[in-house]
Amino acid sequence: MSDTQNLSQRLSRVNLNLLVAFHALYQERHLTRAAARISLSQPAMSHALKKLRGQFDDELFIKTSEGMQPSPLASRLYLRIETGLLQLDEAIASSHSFHPEKEVREFRIGVMDFMINELAPYLVNAVKEQAPGISFNILYAKISNPEMAYRLLQEQELDLAITQFEYLPQGSCFERLYEDKLVCVGDESVYGDKPALSKAEFLSPPHVALSHREDEPILVNKKLATLGLTRKVVVKTPYIATLPFILAGTNMITVINQYAADLICPSSTLRTYQAPIDFEPLHVCQIWEARKNDDPGIHWLRTVIRNCMQEKGLGV
């Protein structure tokens, strides 16, 4: 028999659920968290680990003060096991068509805070008559780069994330929805009714910086540094909805994307100004994991979100 012909015989001795347990243990490095991740009890996960150790004749995971650390063999096995599980999941997902009017399914979507109020009602209206079994779990996603997005998709088991990047992701598991420019926002009673701020007006006052991650340089700061310039940041926040309460009635300014500025300015004394520095536009994308690339439900969801952007006059 060829190696391929022996495949069924060899795999018949392997419990696929054990490989799922191995994958969860490797990622969580903690028995209880791994068990919860795949809906097992803690004793059941302990039993699975015992069987895995017997299957591979190796300790696989060693309990330490920093969690359960993988053995050298476990580290070598992980990438191959994950690749196999992803391919199996992809094959199962692509084996059936998606009929939204008949499906009962919840989609987990990570969204930037300023888009939640716009997107959630659209999604509800899109499905309430045509897809009554579809529901959405919309989560606030603090994402600053594509690498962080892919990690969050896996860690939070998101089906899709909608966020903005200064550079496009690698690979094909994303769709650019539209480009958005950066603008300044300040109180009109301080800066007047004019289209743009001067360089002095931009650099002198204190700034509120929009930052989605503590350990990464802020986009605006990086640009200023290349020009030998600095600004005084007095507040950092990831929440755009807080900006009107921070900025109104002060000389503080911020730099945010045009879409968000258009949402917060009409309800306050704030207005947008063109910055005296040219910033690169941001790419607003929807992004997903490779293992969901052929999932017909995700294809449908991406189409719904694309249509939402186009109806709002956005889209490429």
Domains and CATH numbers, the chain: 7-93 (1.10.10.10), 105-179+283-311 (3.40.190.10), 182-280 (3.40.190.10)
More confident residue, 18 or 165: 18
Q: Give the span between the Cα atoms of 225 and 181, in whole angstroms.
A: 19
Q: What is the pLDDT of residue 16?
A: 81
Q: Give the span between the Cα atoms of 284 and 292, in whole angstroms.
A: 20
Task: Give the CA distances from residue 170 to residues 167, 174, 175, 227, in Å, rounded to whole numbers and listed in that order.
Answer: 9, 9, 11, 28
pLDDT at 2 over 60: no
Q: Indicate the pLDDT class of residue 90, thresholds 50, 70 and 90.
A: low
Q: Is the pTM of this model over 0.75?
A: no
User: DSSP characters for 251-290?
Assistant: S-EEEEEHHHHHHHSTTSSEEEEB-SS-PPPEEEEEE--G
Instruction: Quickly count: other Cβ atoms within 10 Å of residue 82's Cβ.
Output: 16
Give the residue carrying structure tokens 């022996």: 6
User: Percentage of the chain surpassing pLDDT 70?
Assistant: 90
More confident residue, 143 or 81: 81
Mean pLDDT across the chain: 85
Question: What's the mean pLDDT in 11-30?
Answer: 84
Contact 302, 173 (CB under 8 A): no
Instruction: Quickly count: other Cβ atoms within 10 Å of residue 170's Cβ.
Output: 10
